[in-house]
């Protein structure tokens, strides 16, 4: 097998691993080459980024009015 050739399954594993740790140079190169040649894996990468960004926003979310349910008390008057 070629040293920088990765399957989609291996590329997906590298994309997930990249969220937790820095990849080795060879893995970064192999992943970059795979993402250039593959149509599906860049979509998966965008999905991972969307999930990461959504989770970061959710963690930072604070409710401005903690005792109301979606503004229901505002509409009573």
Domain assignment of residue 3, yes or no = no
Domain assignment of residue 1, yes or no = no
pLDDT tens-digit profile of 18-53?
Answer: 999 999 999 999 999 999 999 999 999 999 999 999
Domain assignment of residue 65, yes or no = no
Q: In angstroms, how far is CA 34 from the centroid of its own chain?
A: 17
Q: Is the pTM of this model over 0.85?
A: no
Domain count along the chain: 1
Domain assignment of residue 12, yes or no = yes
Distance in angstroms (rounded) separating the CA atoms of residues 14 and 48:
12
Domain assignment of residue 72, yes or no = no
Domain assignment of residue 39, yes or no = yes
């Amino acid at each position: 097998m070629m040293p920088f050739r990765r399957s989609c399954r291996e590329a997906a594993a590298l994309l997930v691993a990249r969220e937790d740790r820095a990849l080795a140079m060879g893995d970064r190169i192999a992943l970059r080459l795979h993402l250039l040649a593959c149509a599906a894996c860049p979509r998966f990468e965008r999905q991972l980024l969307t999930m990461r960004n959504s989770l970061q926003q959710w963690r930072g979310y604070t409710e401005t009015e903690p005792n109301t349910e979606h503004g229901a008390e505002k509409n009573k008057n």
